Structure 1
């Protein structure tokens, strides 16, 4: 399997995949699509937000990517979330293992449940899930952004895995990428 073994992607990206793993290779292959995709990620995950921190938004991305079994995106966004959350990777691992018992706010837990529903199908986001999130203090903006982050990461996950890109196995590679993203944002070279 190309993405797992690290041999080659399904298409010739014209570059060293180990130097440009995961989504990075396809982004270099099609820079005209990379620009709006990076802008979307920057807006969703790093732009100023009145209530959801960048770490919480990255956690939503990591959680959805894990549900989609996207090794590269889950590992990347887990590291990006960990770098921006006080409890670090331990919290990310707890959320990914069992969102129901993870030590997050009841509001964030309700938003993660909405994200999981989006991952399965947008139609699985029910009035009950939205009402439950509202009952825990979630705003319409937070619900909107959670749905959009989850939907966008389903797309990003399918982009990466659909092209069979290579994903590093070393957690340090993702930690180094997290330092870069936290310092420079998405789309910075």
Structure 2
């Protein structure tokens, strides 16, 4: 049961964003910019995968399942690829660059301190630019905040098993500003 009243019947962060439109609009815009903006060299699907991975490491079921579905809808390899990354990012069938970025994301998620020189050097050796590193760190940090928002208020999971798939269709087509 959520710690606060959510009257719109929406699960997870969706309910919070709709219930509190002032902060909801800002948080939705942040997600839109980070995960769908055109300025990142990281594909939309890969950015969603980073968000799913951080959420999985944080054990935030709603965010992990949501962003896993969003990533799967945009990545070649779909759901099986996402499952492989969540199970073992170091052994998953993704590019060495993406593995290096996932390692950076995991370090950001683990503690508030500089990412290790080794992780940065590894990412750079795989072709990461300053923008790759910046975007990865910011996505990981933002998803730690989103995860804590969802879990801290004990939001509910969706009762409909098709929720994540229909949400993925909406997000891929219309983005994070679309009606929930």
Query: What TM-score, normalized to structure 1?
Result: 0.91
Question: Corresponding residue for 1:5?
Answer: none
Task: Spell out structure 1 runs of 4+ moving beyond 3 A.
Answer: none
1:14 aligns with 2:7: yes
Q: Is the 8 A contact 1:64 1:115 kept in 2?
A: yes
Deviates more, 1:129-138 or 1:74-83: 129-138
Question: Corresponding residue for 2:72?
Answer: 82
Question: Corresponding residue for 1:67?
Answer: 57
The match for 1:36 among 26, 41, 56 is 26
Number of corresponding residues: 179
Q: CA deviation at 1:137?
A: 0.6
Question: Corresponding residue for 1:106?
Answer: 96
Q: Is the 8 A contact 2:40 2:131 kept in 1?
A: no
Deviates more, 1:77-86 or 1:20-29: 20-29
Alignment of 1:114-153 (within 5 A): 114-123=104-113, 125-153=115-143
Q: Is the 8 A contact 1:110 1:132 kept in 2?
A: yes
Q: Is the 8 A contact 2:12 2:150 kept in 1?
A: yes
Q: Is the 8 A contact 1:39 1:187 kept in 2?
A: yes
Cα distance in 1, alignment partners of residues 76 and 134 from structure 2: 25
Q: CA RMSD in A?
A: 1.2
Cα distance in 2, alignment partners of residues 83 and 95 from structure 1: 15
Q: Is the 8 A contact 1:75 1:171 kept in 2?
A: no
Question: Corresponding residue for 2:86?
Answer: 96
For each residue in 1:63-90, what CA deviation from the matched residue of structure 2 results, as whole angstroms up to 9, or x when unmatched? 0000000000000000000000011010
Unmatched 5+ stretches in structure 2: none
- Look up the SS of the partner of 1:115 in the other structure: helix
